[in-house]
Amino acid sequence: MKDKYNPKIKQAAILGVVPIVMFGFAFGLVPLYEVFCELTGFGGGRFEQTVMVSDAPNVPIISEAIDREVNIQFLADVGRGLPWEFRPTETQIRVKVGEVSETTYYARNFSNHSVTGQAVPSVTPAYGAASLQKVECFCFTEQRLEAGEEIEMPVLFYVDADLPDDVGTLTLSYSMFPIQVDEMSHEMANMEHL
């Protein structure tokens, strides 16, 4: 019996579905990564635990400070399609274990419309990542910048005393990815004016 579907139509259908699936996967990467980090603690600590700590002022947020210092290096990366400059304001600081420290990251929107980004953190080396605890971080929420807007975003953190003895430097890196909602809203607003 002869197949009633033309092989070219099948191939065209597959080629039409693949980009849609790829777009959906790319769009869902940031939320999926956040869920993964919450469940495993990978990527710089448990988001849920950090948020709960900052919302509970009666719970101590740091371990007792000890006479140990470590270097914290800061990196930044901008995801494809995000028209931003994004960088740490300082590349490295030395902190005392157990004490809350602060740094900032700079962001500027180069586009002519508002754009929303979401930062995804990671900490290396991986076996010391759980010891770097973020108390306040721009990575907890989406960041919306208007056309040409520039901001400095704070990060409050501490290094827990359970940091392995052989770790003298931790690297906190953020990758900033675009959230497509603003672009769709921008296009819809333009269509309403027509």
* pLDDT-derived band at 153, boundaries 50, 70, 90: very high
Second-level CATH architecture of 25-192: Sandwich (2.60)
Would the pTM of this model clear 0.85, i.e. be above it?
Answer: no
Model pLDDT for residues 37-63, shown as the tens digit of each residue: 665 555 544 333 333 344 434 434 455
Looking at residue 61, what is its pLDDT?
Answer: 46
Looking at residue 25, what is its pLDDT?
Answer: 72
Q: Exposure string (b/e) for 56-84, b if CB count within 10 Å is 16 or more?
A: eeeeeebbeeeeeebebebebebbeebbb
In angstroms and rounded to an integer, the radius of gyration of the C-alpha atoms of the chain is: 21
Model pLDDT for residues 77-114, shown as the tens digit of each residue: 999 999 999 999 999 999 999 999 999 999 999 999 99
